[in-house]
Structures are given as structure tokens and as C-alpha cells.
Structure 1
């Protein structure tokens, strides 16, 4: 079973299992006063509290009503915020959600909004602790609500004082709705006033998403219950959050790239070129030890918790989950794991000769030989895959994934199937259970062995699963979640650290070299489509030549992770990484490669070429 997220490391340099052992074996004190929490780095509000507020005033939160969305700045920590006089610890429950609130459809070709549950928030019941001016949820990442339409995630927020709020403290939190049995994420914020025993009404709104096919605004104001009292593991929550914030990559705004490298001629405007601004959730660029971040747009201005904006993985999970898991299994148990046959690891293949001889490596390469059409993503957009994505029970998903007929020999034809990654993930899960015990889980292994040691944040440590249940099988090919820091940190681990953490290699080095397109003798499968690329172990590879840019005097490959709707994480051989999350089916990042070349040449590139 997944561990509670307060079991995060207290320091990335300290082995995670030490902290976990302490949490699992020592009961929380019941009499002694808790030790003073480690402060969150940089947390000392120094404002006077003289905030000129016109939206979501104390009066509006006490006796008002939500008639529409308001500027998202009303949910943000203001420049003159004073330190909070009250400390929140306990549980916050929002009431009346199933019948309250406003809803506006912006894009819905499939009629999702016709379902009543889709037009309202799911149950919201949040345990929170406070550390200085930071509010930390006891549970981070995806939470299954049982709601017909939505699951939920709540991120860390802030608490502060304003003169206009009287004797109460103001709080604001980011949250996200996650489509049940899918990967769309709709980001919002909520705010309220509180004192030692009570809260005002809760104002909430959703004004942005990363979702190609369902876009909406949602808003409301509802009463809430505040149950003050100790939260299990409160001090560990506070200390782990302080460590999390302190361990994040150094960040600067994307505009600082030009000032940090003034002689390069880099044009930061080109990093989001080719992406419709209204469809762009966020973007970033990692180079030279610094994470240069773009903003996080909403339909009501800037998202007030940009670093906490929850971003869907979609098919970047094929790389970050399934492909990386195989590399980890190969390091733990030997590279022969790549040649494991699905027929020997998935009982449901019994009697289905189409899957005989298909290896794990071939399945992760989308080269099983089983398909209906080899046209570029024809199967992926076809009726069998539509039923596969809609299926929630594990048995139904497995049946549909195994239903494609044998058309070619395994390893001979590339055909993109998310269902293949689902099968590969299940095969790896069963392989792991054979090696490490029947109570092990393949995503939990990835979390414990890779994601947590790399420093990926708690919001990214949960995977969507079948049966809408934490005990279901992980999707494998989609269903993960990112924040800006998590995606940049994970790409750094692959591209700059070469699969090592603090000098310890945790991914198979030879297989990783091939996966990252650094072995010219092993490029992987050639894809179909207008511009054929390479595909290896769940990762894409694009070749760049002088036809793309005269500066590229010798061809080179850039491996990248790609996700539905317009998501790219491109890792360049000069150590730069560029990522963006959007939802208008735009995949444009060659200009970012050209700008990165100005900072450091790609292998074989002409130094100083513009």
C-alpha cells in the first residue's frame, strides 16, 4: 500500500529509509510538547498588513456570494502581507458542494458537462498543518474521492494577515480536479478567513486546465467546518515540507536567461514560440544548474501558486514511469529483464498466441507486432483504444489491451499503442512480485527507488490506477503528475546526472545510454508519420541536422518525452532541458533547441553560430 506522504525525506542527502523506519516504529508523543519545527526556507513575512483589497474582502467571505470568477490575484499572497497571528491545525470540510456553485463550459465536444457531478466540486475534506506562513496538506497528490466525475489533489498554500480582516488570518490553497479514470487536470484555488476555532465561508474557483477536450470555469462560495486538533505526524509534515522547499532547484524567471548569458544572443521569447498563449499552462528551461521558469497563465491572470500548479503527465509517463522502471529493474536484477516474455508474466495471455514471443523490450518499443493498422496513431485513435481508455476495471482494460491481432513479427513494426505500455507495466509488476514478494507494487518501487531519491516532490508520487482505487493496477502509459520542479529535476536526473543520485547509479547505464540516444548503434524503432523519428523504451528521439539549422554542422539526436494535447520534455545533448505543458495539440520545440545551442553548442555544432 502507498505510504503517507509525511514520510518524505528530511534531507535528500539522507537515505530515505532511515526516516521511514523512524516513522513506522515510533509512536507520536501524546504528552511531551513537540519540538520546534524546521522553518520553511525564506519564510518570514515582513509586510505591514496594509493591503488594498477590493476582491474577496472579509465582508464578501462572511456574507457574500460567488457570481462569477474573479482575478486570480485575489487568491495570491499580497506584497504587504503581515505574518499570520493564528495557526491552523486540524481538518477543513467544505459543505454543500454537490448543489452549489457556478459552471461555464468553454470546450466540451464529448458532452462531459451533461453529467451533473461534473458541474460541481467533489467532496473536499482536508487535514492541514501550518508552518510559519505555509499551510501544508497532510495528503499530497491524487486522492480518490468516489465522486462520479472528479478526483482531487490539494497543494501547499499560505496564511497571512491583512488589516481589513480584523482579528482573523487569511488562508489560500491551490487545488486541482483530476478527471476520474483519465489524466486531465483542472487547476484552481480556494481562500478563507480563520481564527482559533472557526472559519469563514470558502470561496473557490477553477480558471485553467491542461486538457485538450474539456475546458471549463467553475466557482462558488460555501460554508465549511473547521475541526481544530492535532494532525497525525504534524511535525514530520512541517519538517518534510521545509526540506522539500529547501531542496528545490534554484529558480529564476525565464527572462533572466538573457541577462545571465548576455553575450549569447539567446532570445527567450522563442522558448514558447509555436504554442498558442491561451493554451499554454507553463514552460521552463533547465541549464547550468538553474531552472528558468515561465509563468502559469489562467483566464483570470496569473495562477497564484505557479510552482504548485499540478500538470498531467499523459504519455510522458511512458518514459518517466514504464521506461524508467525497466531501467531500474535492469539495474537491480540484470539487463536480461528486458528480454522477459509477456506470455510468461501476464496470466491473461494464456491461449492467446498473438502474444507468444513478445518481449518486454519490444513492448516498451511499441513493436509487439500486434495491431489493426500500422498507420501513424490510427489504432491509438480507433475504437478499441477508445474502449481501453474508457474502461475502468482492470479486467476490462487487460482484455482490450490483449485484443489486437498478430500482423507482423515482434520487433519488426512500430505501432503506437498506450495499451502496450499498460501490458509492459503489468508484466514488470508481476516480475517484481516474483523477485521481491507478492505485496510489492511496481509504481511503489519506482517511487521508493527512483522518484524520492531524485527529489521529485510529493505531488508527483502517486499514479492513477484501474478501478478508481489506490489498490488498482497503475496505468503505466499515462496517469502521473508533475510540478515545474519535479519535471525539471527528473529530466536533470536523466540528462545531466546519467541515472545516478549522489554518485550512486540507480539505472542500468548501458540501457540508459541507448534510451537517451547516446549509442549510435542502438537508436530503437523507426516511427511512422510525416517526420519519422526514433522510439526506444518509451522515449522518443528526434534527429537534428543542418537542414534544421546551419549551426548543426553534424547531426545529433535529442531524446524527449511527449504527452497528449501538447506536452514535451526535450533533453538536449548539451545538458539543456526544455519543457512545456499545453492543450491545443501543438508540438513545437525546435526553436528552443536552436536557442539552447547559443548557450552551449550541441555535439558537432559550430561554436558561436547564430
Structure 2
């Protein structure tokens, strides 16, 4: 459902508004009762209902073919897509869909398989396939989303949300299509497929399925088939909640536009959108996108049979982007909850299996996350990662075996002194953090569940991406930590926005430790992290990569800057530029090419300097007058950014930030992180503040404070209260020069007591450096 900001009550109206609301409810209950049908009706999914006539010209996957056919290969993926003339569905699916005989059905065409996966018969067929589904309008929703453990020797399964619609040629039955993905057991390869069938209130046609795309560098194939299916109609427990949740999920997705629209939206910049996705073999490119100025500009999802019918829901593997998005982010969350000492915990104090292994003495969580444990066989760039010990680590499914392989590297250097890439080190860091969390929160605590509940879910990550692969091929195994997560394009853009634009805060509440996040995002010149090996040395810190760009890369880069990024096996990059944009792509031909996208992003908004050289006078705050109508890049409590003028107008323009004004116990916050260049001698925050209050006593009941947060430490810059009533906006200026060379979060926090409103209004805020 769309978000509606809370309505603030003008002073003097609080009691009247409350009484009116109560009276309205009482009268409504006496005069009428809600219709049961309406009470049970789910919120509609944005975009419904369908408006087509049902006159769909169809020659592929016709009703006759879905009733009885033996496919000999894959067909165009558009045959599974919602057509332009689709009419609203006449039937609603609720119950369980089961595909029968999948273990021996269908065809398989090997395209790339150097490791011989196809020698195993189960690899050539679907695993057991059953899904409980409910329907909201034309949307068909699995009640279980994300990775499912099937017990199959080759494949686990994920089923996504699909569509249902009416076509005139289907004999009155409703047509449905669902995206699904096969996920390699004990690994992270994802093979994307789609299925389709016809149904009515009690019966179902055969189900046609095919797989024509993947993100997997070492195993590529087509798979197809048509099988009998069982439909068991039943009222699904929690079905209404699932329908409502999906409607809210769709409404909460970031606005999307085709990538070509970027040039139209930003004319005069000279941005060349063909550079996005460039440098990657087209047949190896699963998808790509570019988040900028609140919009997720997206490329297509090319398969071997055209565009994937559910591009926005194509399941994408994390591979080592999980080292950042899971293990690294988990540390930042632990540090915010319990302090930065979480990074300094010794593995030997947290992982029982280190007992008797002297090589791991002195190694901390931070060392393991930074891949500088000092334990390795070869210091050559990714030599160990491709070696036999690491191969055994990846192949190990039981926790005990995986842990034993992770701990088998010998001591070669002092911990913290040398970077050597090891996926096993991230596994160790995640296990240590999990056990640290259990000491703090109880033996039932789980590191990934903490991340899911306190980070991923609050920022709107889809249920498809709120599951992690685990050891022992079971849901209660130990999460891999450094791989085994999944993304959709919306998930990628939201997560990058959370780090790069929202500074690790959700609705004004700081979720990640701001200091460690600034370090991870290469915003602190004194904390770049470990220097990597390889042909292009980079930086690595808390599971995040960092790459420096200078005029040697492009003459347009008049000042050097660093780009933090997440990287994944086979050709995956999520690059978060210091101008607030993010470029991402998922591919599987071992191609890592994204410099051209950085150059195009720089045309839209020049990158912030790292410091050094001559100071360039600048204004650093984004959205200083809130005139975009949204908080970004500020983080704010819901409803704080406001354009109503009846009670309190803005200082200039139409929008302002309005903290509090409720007349009841309430805290609200507004924050933004800026990096103050070290080479500038002066930095100052200026803003316009108006304070209005209904309080009459000479006591500071309601307060506004301004804090500067650096490396997790908050310093109070100023305080105001109801005693500082201004009558109109007044300019305020505060010195920020003590924060030169650092990333600092400026946070306003308003607090009201139980009665009599106080409103704190902020507008036209700037941070000028010179």
C-alpha cells in the first residue's frame, strides 16, 4: 500500500481531533457493519486490474498445446509473458500446485559443462516441485518465497510471483505463468526458468516449463518439458496476509525506467547510456541497471529465447557480493548494537573448532573480514582461492567438514599484515560473529536472521532475497557468509541506496555503525583498508572493495576519488559512486568491466574529491531545501519532509523538514552524512530554524538537538527547546572544521513529551567548504 505520512495536529486542536475521531468510530459502529467480503478483501496490487480485451493472437503455448503436447525444445520466452491484450482473470487460484513426474520428464541441452555435472541424471530434470499459491487480482503469489531445500541431489528451488489472465482462445479457463529458478545445491549458481498452465475452479491443464538463462560461469544449459499437474484448491492459512504483503511489496519498489530514459531525464549532460552494460559479452549478461536520483534505470534480461518474461523478478546470485552484503554488513550492525569491539573479537575465543590450532591465535573478526588473517598457502593473487584446499572447502556440505577446511591454512604472516583472498575467511568471520551475537542475545540468535530482521526487511528487500544458503543443505544449517544470497534488481538498488545514499539509516534511525560504514564506503582517507594484490591493486575493508580513480583513468577526473564496490564470481559488480549513483551488472563470463559506467555517472554529477591538492569550494549537502519532495539523500522519520502550508510554510520553496508537532510522546530524526575534504580550511553548516510551541511553562519539555556523529561517536553541536520559540525562521550557523578529512553524520533529533505540541522546522540547510 502507498505510504501516507501521519497528519500533524495544529496547536489547540489535539483534544478536539481526538474526540471527533472517537465519535466517528462510535457512530460508524452503531449505524453500519462492514461487509464480510469487503473486510476480507486484499489491498489491490498497483497496476491492477488488467484492461485488455482478451483478444490475444497466439500460436505458441496454445490451449490445445497445454492440454497435450510433447515439446522437443524451448520456445520464445514471450509465450510465457503477460500479453498486452490480457483480460482480468475469471478464476482465482488458491491452493497447492504440484508438478508430477519431474524426476524423469523433459529435455536437457548442455551448453557448457567442463566439470561434468550433466553426468548426474538428476541434473537434467526438475527437482520435486510443489508450491502453495494465492491470488491477488492478476498476481499469483507463492506463500513461500526464496530458496527452498528440496532434498534433490542437484537442485534446490525458488518460485517467484507470477500472473494470471484471460485469453479468448483458452475456452474460459484462466492462463497463468510463474517464474522459478533452480539453485545449485551447496553453491550459488542460479538458472532462471518460467512455467505456464491453464486452470479453472477445480482443474488444471498440463504445465509447460523451460529454462533458457542462468548466471553461472561453469554450467549452462537449456531445459524444457511438459508434465501433468495436480491442483488442490483450499483456503490457504495466512492467504489474506500474503496478498496484502505482496501488494505492499510492489508498491514499495523503487521507480523504474528503461536505461535509455536516463539521457532524456538529464538532457545536456551528454550521458551515453550505451556505456552501461558495455564491456560484457551480451550473451553472458543476465541484467544490469543504474540507480540515480531516486530512479532505478534498468536494462533488459536477455535469455537464449528473447527477453525473460519476469525481468524485474529474475533471481540473481550473490556470489561474493555476499561478503559485503552479509558478512560485512552484519559487522556494521553488530557494531551499532554492541560497539566497535565486535570487530576486535578473537576467533579463538568464539569458534570452538579453533582449539589446538595455534595458527589462528591473534586473528580477529576484523582480520578475517579483511582477508588478512596471515594464514594461507600462497600469497599469489587468488592462487589459494583456486587451489585444492579451497575447492574442498566449497564442496564440503556438512558444517564440520567445511569448518575443518576453512581452518586448515598454515600461518605465514602476522595477522593484519598481508591480504590474501580467501572465501573461507569470510565463512570464519560470519561464524565468529554469529557466536558473538549468541553471547549477547541468547543461544537462539542467528546472524543472518539478525541481518534479515533488522536490515533487509526494514529497507524493503524482497522475500526472494531474505534467505541464505546454509551448510548441510538444510534451513537450520550454518549460513555460508561469503556467498549464497540472492538478489532482484530492485533489491540491488535498494541495498546500494541504503549504504550509499541513506548512510545506513532507516526512517531516521541509524541501523549500521556510521563510522565503520564510512570506512567501508571509502569516505575516510585515513582508513582505506588492506591493499590488495593483483594487476590493479585496490583496497579491501570489512568485505567491501574500493578502487581509486584519477586523471590517469580519465582527464575529466580533476580530483582523485574512490569507488566502493561489491564484487561477485563470474562477472558481478555493484559500484556505489561518491556522487550518489550506483551501477550494477550480473554476468558469467569472468568479465569485470565498469570503468565506462563511472565516466558516464561523472557526467551526471561530478564525483566528490578524496582530499589532497587544492580545495574546491563547494556545497556538500544533497537536497538542501527538500524540494525533491522526498528525504533522499537525507534519512528521515516518516512524514518529516512536508509541503503543507496551512500551519507552517517553508522558508523558501514548497518543502521543509517538520519534526514533531504531535502533542504526545514522540521522537523524530533527520540526518545526512557528508565527507568534509581535508584540504579545505573552512567548513560550516547553515540552516534556517523555526520553533513553535503550545507549551507555556518555563521548562524545557520538548527538545531538538543536533549531533555530529564520527566513527560511531556522537558529539552534541547544539540544543534547542520549547523555550527557544522563534516566531519565524532564523538562520543558524555551526562550525564543522573539526571534521575536515572525515565523513560525519549530521543528525537532528526532536523529542516531545506527553502533551502540548512543539514543532521544529528546518529548511535551506547547506554545508559550505572553502
Normalising by structure 1, what TM-score? Answer: 0.94
Aligned partner of 1:101 in structure 2 is: 106
State the shift of 1:417 in Å: 0.2
From 201, 206, 210, the counterpart of 1:205: 210
Cα distance in 2 for residues equivalent to 1:465 and 1:491: 24
Partners of 2:2 and 2:251 within 8 A in 1? no
Give the 5 Å matches for 1:500-515: 500-515=505-520
Partners of 1:90 and 1:230 within 8 A in 2? yes
Cα distance in 2 for residues equivalent to 1:384 and 1:518: 36
State the shift of 1:163 in Å: 0.5
From 65, 68, 79, the counterpart of 2:70: 65
Give the 5 Å matches for 1:102-117: 102-117=107-122
Cα distance in 1 for residues equivalent to 2:299 and 2:519: 31
From 347, 350, 358, the counterpart of 2:363: 358
Q: Aligned pair count? A: 583
SS in 1 for 2:194: strand
1:526 aligns with 2:520: no
State the shift of 1:440 in Å: 1.0
From 397, 401, 414, the counterpart of 2:402: 397
Aligned partner of 2:763 in structure 1 is: none
Deviations 1:461-517 (A, max 9, x none): 000000000000000000000000001100000000000011110000011110100
1:579 aligns with 2:584: yes
Deviations 1:180-211 (A, max 9, x none): 00000000000000000000000000000000
Cα distance in 1 for residues equivalent to 2:374 and 2:559: 34
SS in 1 for 2:430: helix
Cα distance in 1 for residues equivalent to 2:276 and 2:513: 32
Aligned partner of 2:188 in structure 1 is: 183
State the shift of 1:42 in Å: 1.3
Long gaps (5+) in structure 1? 1-8, 15-31
SS in 1 for 2:402: helix
From 134, 153, 157, the counterpart of 1:148: 153
Normalising by structure 2, what TM-score? Answer: 0.75
Cα distance in 2 for residues equivalent to 1:232 and 1:91: 12
Aligned partner of 2:669 in structure 1 is: none
From 363, 369, 376, the counterpart of 2:374: 369
Partners of 1:156 and 1:174 within 8 A in 2? yes
Partners of 2:42 and 2:243 within 8 A in 1? yes
Deviations 1:561-606 (A, max 9, x none): 0000000000000000000000000000000000000000012499
Partners of 1:10 and 1:239 within 8 A in 2? no
The 3 A distance-change label for structure 1 pair 260 and 334 is same
Cα distance in 1 for residues equivalent to 2:196 and 2:5: 35
From 323, 331, 334, the counterpart of 2:336: 331
Partners of 1:556 and 1:602 within 8 A in 2? yes
1:429 aligns with 2:434: yes
Aligned partner of 1:22 in structure 2 is: none
Aligned partner of 2:276 in structure 1 is: 271
State the shift of 1:65 in Å: 1.5
SS in 1 for 2:449: helix
Partners of 1:12 and 1:247 within 8 A in 2? no
Give the 5 Å matches for 1:271-310: 271-310=276-315
Aligned partner of 1:460 in structure 2 is: 465
From 25, 35, 39, the counterpart of 2:44: 39
Judging by fraction of residues, say which structure has more strand: 2
Aligned partner of 2:598 in structure 1 is: 593
State the shift of 1:240 in Å: 0.3
From 251, 260, 264, the counterpart of 1:259: 264
Cα distance in 1 for residues equivalent to 2:5 and 2:582: 24
1:381 aligns with 2:392: no
1:497 aligns with 2:502: yes
State the shift of 1:11 in Å: 6.9
Aligned partner of 2:416 in structure 1 is: 411
State the shift of 1:13 in Å: 8.8
> Which has the higher relative contact order, 1 or 2, with Cα contacts under 8 A spaced 6 or more apart?
1
SS in 1 for 2:566: strand
The 3 A distance-change label for structure 1 pair 440 and 11 is farther
Cα distance in 1 for residues equivalent to 2:220 and 2:68: 30
Deviations 1:197-232 (A, max 9, x none): 000000000000000000000000000000000112
Cα distance in 2 for residues equivalent to 1:557 and 1:186: 34
Long gaps (5+) in structure 2? 7-35, 611-615, 618-770
Aligned partner of 1:29 in structure 2 is: none
1:88 aligns with 2:93: yes
Cα distance in 1 for residues equivalent to 2:593 and 2:210: 31
State the shift of 1:12 in Å: 11
Aligned partner of 1:341 in structure 2 is: 346
Deviations 1:515-554 (A, max 9, x none): 1000000000000000000000000000000000001111
Partners of 1:10 and 1:240 within 8 A in 2? no
Judging by fraction of residues, say which structure has more helix: 1
State the shift of 1:10 in Å: 9.9
Partners of 2:539 and 2:547 within 8 A in 1? yes
Partners of 2:286 and 2:587 within 8 A in 1? yes
Once superposed, what is the RMSD of the aligned Cα atoms? 1.5
Partners of 1:207 and 1:218 within 8 A in 2? yes
Cα distance in 1 for residues equivalent to 2:5 and 2:437: 27
SS in 1 for 2:276: helix
Cα distance in 1 for residues equivalent to 2:237 and 2:465: 22
